[in-house]
Amino acid sequence: MSSIDLFKRELEEHAFRKKARKRLIIVSVSVVLLVIIIIAASVGDLKRNDNSNKSPPSSSSTSTAESIKAVCEVTLYPDSCSSSISSLKSSTNLTSNNPEDLFVLSLQAAVNALVKFSSFTQMLVDSNSNYDSLSKNALRNCESIIWDAIDYVNMSVVRFQETENKLSPSTSTINDIRTWLSAAITYQETCIDGLQEFSRGNLELTEEVRTAMRNSTEFTSNSLAIVTKILSKLKFSMNRKLLHSEADGIPSWLHQAGNRRLLQELEKNLPRPNVTVAKDGSGNFTTIGQAVKSIPERSPYRFVIYIKEGVYTENATIGKRLWNVTMYGDGMKKTIISNNLNIVDKTPTFISGTLIAEGRGFIAMHMTFRNTAGPEKEQAVAMRSSSDHSIFYQCSFEAYQDTLYVHANRQFYRDCHITGTVDFIFGNAAVVFQNCTIQPREPLPKQFIAITAQSKSDPNQNTGICIQGCDLTTTFNNQLVTADTYLGRPWKNYSTTVIMHSKIGQLLNPQGWIEWIRDVTPPETIFYGEYQNSGLGSVQDQRVEWDGYKRNLTDQQASKFTVEGLIQGSEWLVDHAKLYNYDLNV
């Protein structure tokens, strides 16, 4: 598929979503008002109970300004937080000053700012004929990306509205909202990243867009800070349990549509397919793209695509509205999806993936995703996952620079193989790799190898890369890689990466990690660490001396990056599937 075709596909998708979003925003505002009414009623009940017990005056006696100031002090942008919430509070005539009410208003402020910014990008495209085609394409792509950010803020509103006790939301609710607001920030960063790719000669445009995006990024960050620093710390008595958990302790989404059974059978049986793809015509379709078109939208039931042995030269996207899709093949060396889209030939990194998974609950098994563009074509993605609760089991990801784009949300990889050169595992998902083989390959002359490039940009994002119990080899096709090899480099100011319980090959540069910009020490706000690794490359006596690098993590620090600590596996992975380890035991 050409770059032009891809952009056309993105624009067609956006046209559909733009019509739907006008209705969605109206619904979202209604939901916001509904939540406010519900919370106000709950607060009223609590006040009446307090009065009947002659308890001390409640916090409602605190002035509005003081309440807003107290909530906004936990954010990175207290001034914009206070002004945006105060303005909305006045317009809604809300009398309550509780953190839950103010949080909902902060979400509404974020949605309003994002919608306004989306209109700004469209205006730039329509009104300025001086931009070259690449810059215009980057702006169009940016507009589409921003609508994804709006989706995630709206999802957070709805998730909070579903909460039975808004004065003390469950751990599962907090995790979902933090994940989706983290993703909303990531999507806004992705917009800027795309402009920087294609507007390198037009820094003015990038800065103009960044300035116009200031309110939306700050307001989204404010909401994330409030849910992280305040709502998650509220101590009201309630029986905490997993989201709609059943008597057996398994979350309800795993009971739906046989998901629980499907995960249990990954080791022994393959699920019965809804459709089969076969190059020889023996299935329902001969291409993966045809099969994707048959997937029902927003289905609560799992849709299974079996892809028979063969090399399928195409690109495919599991779109945002395609939920609970499973795709499996005949084995990593037998079922291969391959193409060669790349940045040098004018395809943005964000849409260069041979396969792109955006819909929630995506699962892939027993297949290879490959980008054959080659090292001279620079960024060329084999797989991008933006799918929340995505699982990859016995899959291979093969390319050079930017092989695996772990873009956003919660992801898990088990028994996989990843190979590449520069930043070949990158992005801002909350992601755990277990029992995987991570294999650098020879880059271009004078290039170095960085295995990871993590891009956390806000300290309250619950994101990071954890590589646990993996084999980081320094041979490719039985030949030693000669280029300098590093565990990773910090892409953004709060980059977070941990390597634990892994075997590290002998040719790793003894410094272990490398700066994003050579000889410029990364900020102390990054978090890079190692824990109980083995192999000749695990020796730490010559590691970097950055303030943000933790040479030997404590057990407590390391536990935050396990399947349970980083991606809350007990909420969406079945504990008896025997496909993963929850904790530090490997």
- Which residues have C-beta within 8 Å of that of residue 114, sequence separation ≥ 6? 146, 149, 150, 153, 184, 188, 216, 220
Q: Please state, in angstroms and as integers, the Cα–Cα distance from residue 321 to each residue in 118, 182, 555, following that order.
A: 20, 20, 40
Q: What are the pLDDT digits (tens) for 325-377?
A: 999 999 999 999 999 999 999 999 999 999 999 999 999 999 999 999 999 99
| Reported confidence tier of residue 395, pLDDT bands at 50, 70, 90 | very high
| Reported confidence tier of residue 220, pLDDT bands at 50, 70, 90 | very high
Letter for the amino acid at 456? K
What is the second-level CATH architecture of the domain 259-571? 3 Solenoid (2.160)
| 3-class SS of residue 174 | helix
Look at 50 and 409; give whichever has higher pLDDT. 409
Q: What are the pLDDT digits (tens) for 502-519?
A: 999 987 899 999 999 999
Q: What is the pLDDT of residue 49?
A: 42
Cβ atoms of 126 and 161 within 8 Å: the answer is: no
Catalytic residue among 415, 423, 458, 583: 423
What does the domain layout of the chain look like in residue ranges? 3-233, 259-571
pLDDT (mean) for 573-583: 59
Pick left, alpha or beta for residue 54 (phi over 0 → left; psi -120 to 50 → alpha; otherwise beta).
left
Give the C-alpha separation, 36 to 40, whole Å.
Answer: 6
| Reported confidence tier of residue 474, pLDDT bands at 50, 70, 90 | confident
**The pTM is what?**
0.86
**3-233 and 259-571 agree in CATH topology:** no
Q: What are the pLDDT digits (tens) for 150-208?
A: 999 999 999 998 887 766 788 999 999 999 999 999 999 999 999 998 766 678 889 99
Mean pLDDT in the chain? 85
575 catalytic residue (yes or no): no
What is the second-level CATH architecture of the domain 3-233? Up-down Bundle (1.20)
